[in-house]
Amino acid sequence: MSQLVPPHGSAQLKPLLLEGAAREAEIKRAAGLKRVPLTSRETGDLIMMGIGGFTPLDGFMGKADWQGVCDDMRMPSKDGLFWPIPITLSAAPALADSITIGEEVSLWDEETGELMATMKVTDKYAIDKAHECATVFRTTDQAHPGVAMVMAQADVNLAGPVKVLSEAYFPKQFAGLYQRPAEARAMFEERGWSTVAALQLRNPMHGSHAYLAWVAIEVCDGVYIHQLVGKLKPGDIPADVRVKAIDALVNRYFRKERVAMAGYPLDMRYAGPREALLHAVFRQNYGCSHLIVGRDHAGVGDYYGPFDAQKIFMEIPSEALHLKPLCMDWTFYCYECGSMASMKTCPHESKAVIDDNGQYQGGARLLLSGTLLRKLMSEGKPVPAEFSKPEVIAVLKEYYDSLEEKVEVKLHGAATGDMKK
């Protein structure tokens, strides 16, 4: 019997991906169905349903579930199942009007033109986009990339159960990294792990990330470095470069029997606390018992407090998730301590001063963040040696040197420490 945590809301994973003869038959049948385009976010969500990452969902959410998730993080259709972010599919009004309830449609990735799934439409409804943004993102400011994504959606949502036919380019482009939940669970069991801490990454691993992973290994059987390989906002480092940088660090500075790396196919929503909960839901499906939640988890700009993602875990009912957060304080390199430290351990409160040549001039705490690292690299400025391992910096320098145009990276309070704790 498995010693891993059970999937979310189910005794077993519920993948919706068809294979073999059933898949081939459904592909032929899809040729006669109306076509509904998918954005990259919708495609990622669909693939997660296909591989069981979004167990126990069986398709895109209807209006009652959309409303329940926005307002209470509950799905009425599934006896109040905890779910933190709406998983929806939108369509232009003219297309939606042409589709009748009960009709089956085919779902196509609008960028690649690939057939991704079929869906039986059981509901179609207009939504209050501002309400979704206010509840999920805690803002309606369209400068927030997640808000902009929702406001750009088509005006009608289509809902219903899906039959997934493809995992898009992820298995091929990220061969050896992209992983289904069943594969992760099998790997953990083969290693004899029962407690697994997931480390969410959308940036290369700087010193704070590595420190969090090492701490997690001390209290769990192993750490699962789980990278997002879907789409990011402009200025973020592409997945293939990030993978190369993380490999360079892990292969030299971690015990191989205590770490596993994998990728998953979602786009970032930058929903801060709500997205941290979504990360917890699908990491539980992957077999993880814990999620490392550090500073500004899944945040962007100054929309969230640095520890809002930790606080929200304390606000949800204890029975909502089997997975538990592994809450970590703000970490940094301390020149006085001569090591990585956190606000819980380090007594030296002065901020480190680094000159334009990347040289230490005084003070104690060098606050590390992915945003600051991207800014330094994009502007061609020296990166302090304490920020990250040289193997990581070398990979990133090669990438930034190759860019003809660089996106301006703006610092915010969560990246510099200039905000209320």
Catalytic (active-site) positions: 202-203
End-to-end CA distance of the chain: 43
Of residues 139, 134, 421, the one with CA closest to residue 300: 139
Residue 117 burial by Cβ neighbours in a 10 Å radius (0-12, 13-18, 19+): buried
- For residue 330 the two structure tokens come to 């703000």
Torsion 378-406-229-156 (CA) sign:
positive
Cα–Cα distance for residue pair 342/98, rounded to 1 Å: 57
CB 309 within 8 A of CB 298: yes
